[in-house]
Amino acid sequence: MSSRRRARRFTAVTGSLVAAAFSAALVLPCTAAADDQGPAGGSGKGGKAVDRAPAGVRLTTTLPAKISVDNSSGKTAITATVKNGGTRRSDGIRLLVVGFGGLKVNAVRGCDAVAAKDRPAGSNSAFSCPVGPLGAGRSASYAVDATFDLGGSGKICLPVQSADGKKTFWQQGPVPFGTTNPSPNAPATPLLLGTDNQPVGPGGDQLPKTGAGRDVLPLGAVGAALIAAGAAGVRWSQRRPRRPS
């Protein structure tokens, strides 16, 4: 076997091994570790302490920095997390999940709906989650089912209160979810925490236009343009100098 043929065979075998290794890497399982620190990518944006918590207790909340809204149904999923970042266990507490404007909270797993007369002023929905005592460094997360009207702005609020509701130790929001670049023609629109939503403008439900951004030409104009292009092509071919045989 010549050296050139051996080199080609070695290159082919090496390429096959690299491709096989890459494919194997894609199907390797990922091991998820539960650290009780709440979901990754959570943000405490728009949060502030209100009433003083007991000594050694530091209660905060987080929301996802980004959510995705289904453009056809308006449905979205949010994870609301409360955490005790202090050094001592808290007394019994509760977490409220409150919706405003275009964001309506439909359900929160493990929580009870708050009657309209007991909701915070200006809200359209609210749920109360009985967290109970929360140990130091521990967190509790709640799955929130909501709808978002992309034609307006929507906000969410997470107050953390004592079990009797007399004290509010922490409150995140009302903080908006929104986008300045709506995607009416995509299956879903991503919304960012702390961003005021810019509703889709008139005609946003139309399919996007392709090409140079011009409207489709009328059929007569298209026919005339094709005929003119054909005539120009014939004249150009006639003017071309013939190559000597």
pLDDT in the model for residue 203: 52
Report how far residue 143's alpha carbon sits from residue 31's, in angstroms, rounded to the nearest whole number.
Answer: 22
The predicted model scores a pTM of 0.68
Residue 212 confidence (pLDDT) above 90:
no
Evaluate if residue 90 carries a pLDDT over 80: yes
Q: Which CATH superfamily is domain 42-177+186-193 in?
A: ntegrin, alpha v. Chain A, domain 3 (2.60.40.1510)
* Residue, of 16 and 149, whose pLDDT is higher: 149
Q: What is the mean pLDDT of the chain?
A: 77
Positive or negative torsion for Cα 150, 154, 160, 162: negative
The whole-angstrom separation of Cα 67 and Cα 207 is: 24
Residue 218 is predicted with a pLDDT of 45
Q: What is the mean pLDDT of residues 75-92?
A: 97
Give the per-residue pLDDT at 180.
86
Instruction: Give the domain ranges of the chain.
Output: 42-177+186-193
pLDDT band at 193 (very low <50, low <70, confident <90, very high): very high
pLDDT at 185: 81
